[in-house]
Structure 1
Amino acid sequence: MEAVYTHGIWMAERLQQSTGNQEKMWLVVTHIGDPKAAFLLVFPFTYFVSKRAGVAVLWVAAISEWLNLVFKWILFGERPFWWIGESRQFVNKQPKVHQFSSTCETGPGSPSGHAMVTAAVWWVVVSSLGSFLHSRTRSVLLAAVPYLLYVVMLVAVGLSRVFILAHFPHQVVAGSITGFILGIILSHRVPEGRPLVFFFKISVGLLISALALHVGLQQQLGINLSWSIQLAKKWCSRAEWIRLDTAPFSSLTRDCGALLGLGLAQYWKPGGWSLPWAPRALSLAISSMGLYHVNRLPLPIRPQALFYVLFFIKFVIVPQLVIIFVPGLVHLFTHKKKKE
């Protein structure tokens, strides 16, 4: 693997040198590919266009990110920003690369979570859009446009991860392929209309199984699963770039919280609110602002258990805001206005 890692570092160097003037663009692209964006950006936008597609996006995002966490614990992938120093392969010739504020993620590197979740989630979006366009126009060429944009997005997200030294090229390729397969499989198994107990069991089951795997790997096999966190802290250029919300357990609590929240939302209002297009657009705008502020809520990082509990609650709230609270308020006020 050392040869693969070394070639990946030189590729990152060439990418930084040849496209260094596009740094802001790469940082925007990597933020769009962040798994968190699937919950906070893609989900609300998709939901107010198509309820089924929106539920599918949240479902696929949670399951694919959970599987990515499991794969990372098992595969032990390195990350470029720490491997450069740890490998001692560049003693004579240091690569001319630098880190960014989004570089220092603390989980293992393989496969790329950005690539995997993006591939899975956006497959739901583009397949729905492609089917819609084909049903309306009967044009295969027009229906193929979303799939072409899908490929472009995956390439852009993958290159952005290599550019910022968060992943090696083979990790983003593995993540993209795995996410693509998951997107196809999971998009046909959307839990619409399922009872609350189903989501409760899924949420608790994912949490317990991940914790059991963590305990088994550490205590039974003697594997130190905090190795990546230690290396990230050691080799990150700035201490403030190490954030607890990039830690593996943050992903786990986000996924479990979002799934439980989805179940609660469908329990409170089965089928959601039926709104015309104008109120839907208003709901999307208000939901986006609400999620922006929910995401910005500062959480105490000590003790860590409290952080994870609050992080879990934060993502339980996300589906409530999008499916129940905001559309309900918009329906209330627009309905009154019509009566008057």
Structure 2
Amino acid sequence: MIEAMEPIKHLALETYNITLNRELFINQWAQERLAFGEPLWLFLSDRLEPNNIFNFFIPLSGIFSQEMLLHLLSVLTLASTLNSFEKWIYPEIRPLWFLREQFANNKLTVKPTVALQSYQLSCETSGGLPCAHSMIFTVFVLILAAHIFIYLWDRFVAWHSPWYRCVMYPAIIGLVVSMWLSRLYLATEFLHQCILGSYFGFRAVNAFEVNIKYLFSRPRAYAVPAVCFLGAFAGSVYFIKLHFDMDPHWSVRQAFKWCPEPTYMRHEASPIFALVRDLGNLMGLALASPLFDLEAKESTFWRRCRVLGTLEFVNYGLRVATVKQYGRFAFLSYEFSRNVFHSLALVKYVPNFY
């Protein structure tokens, strides 16, 4: 049976490598033909990365609506957790890693005819599939567009025209495709990783909306153990990989191996940091459960600005003060606690000051 599977395994691996080699030309095309938009691509990948969305754009949405903030934080946290677990369990290679591995492989007689430029933002330390930027940005844009559309629909009769809906859909697609082009231009992802990232994000939004009553009605006694189970599962994956002689930190080692300047790499992009961030945000939501019982008080715009601004100023200070000199355990424990505090304060305690 095992011998019969070998040809199939070899064919699948060969097909996969051919596909990646073909997709390298798409990254090369993006760098050659889209250089005029480099400031935009750098802005999208840098300013709209998942960490900035969690630490800046979600709190900013609370200035306009606490309901929007809760919606964004809950769906984005679930989608980001799904993304982090996939990359933690099976990280996929990135374009620059794959290309340089091809050139370094002495067994290959024919080398790739592709040349890709590396940027500071190209030094990612997690796997490529699914693209976190595409997945989180897609979810963010979809939810934000839905809230804006409903707000305008309720206040302006002219917005009932189907013409506005026809304009909104291409705008959403254009924004998502722009993020894809940003990742392709920086050679951080293959095209299929961007497409699947957005697809998984869309499916995550759909699954959340279908089950929103069930998820928001879960009591704390149910939600907290569920998050603890996910944490235990993440830890078990680490030891399972060690048992099967698989490197749990493969993606980080690839980044150190092929990044031209190690100082370009950020700890915020590592798979373990992403897991801790997402589990911390989930624990904050779990401690605030059931989410249906949370009150959304009415208040003035400027009061919301002051309250949320104070919280984010404190959160920024805590991020800057992250302990990095006392070992990995202290660092991850601190980051987990900070994210628990941040998400719990956003959804439960901040509204009390409105």
TM range (shorter): 0.7 to 0.9
What is the root-mean-square deviation of aligned Cα atoms in Å? 2.8
Change (3 A) 1:4 1:302: farther
Change (3 A) 1:128 1:308: same
Classify the secondary structure of the residue corresponding to 2:121. coil
Classify the secondary structure of the residue corresponding to 1:225. coil
The Cα shift of 1:271 comes to 1.5
The Cα shift of 1:275 comes to 1.7
Give CA deviations for 1:200-246 in whole Å, capped at 9, x if unaligned: 22321221122223333442x44323222211110001111222221
* 1:237-256 mapped onto 2 (5 Å cutoff): 237-256=260-279
Alignment-derived partner of residue 12 in structure 2: none
Change (3 A) 1:286 1:198: same
Correspondent of 2:336 among 292, 312, 316:
312
2:149 aligned with 1:126, yes or no? no
2:57 aligned with 1:38, yes or no? no
2:231 aligned with 1:207, yes or no? yes
* 1:116-195 mapped onto 2 (5 Å cutoff): 116-136=135-155, 137=157, 138-190=160-212, 191-192=215-216, 194-195=218-219
**AA partner of residue 227 (structure 1):** W
The Cα shift of 1:183 comes to 1.1
Task: Say if 2:96 and 2:116, in contact at 8 Å, map to a contact too.
Answer: no
Alignment-derived partner of residue 133 in structure 2: 114
Alignment-derived partner of residue 223 in structure 1: 246
Change (3 A) 1:49 1:252: same
- Gap runs ≥5 in structure 2: 1-15
**AA partner of residue 97 (structure 1):** L
Alignment-derived partner of residue 4 in structure 1: 19
2:158 aligned with 1:104, yes or no? no
The Cα shift of 1:107 comes to 1.5
Distance 1:147 1:296 in 2: 39
2:101 aligned with 1:86, yes or no? yes
Give CA deviations for 1:279-314 in whole Å, capped at 9, x if unaligned: 224334444444444443343065111111111112
Structure 1 length as normaliser, TM-score? Answer: 0.85
* 1:247-286 mapped onto 2 (5 Å cutoff): 247-265=270-288, 270-286=294-310
Change (3 A) 1:257 1:144: farther
Number of aligned pairs?
329
**AA partner of residue 42 (structure 1):** F
Task: Say if 1:129 and 1:146, in contact at 8 Å, map to a contact too.
Answer: no
Alignment-derived partner of residue 9 in structure 2: none
Correspondent of 1:65 among 48, 62, 80:
80
Change (3 A) 1:291 1:17: farther
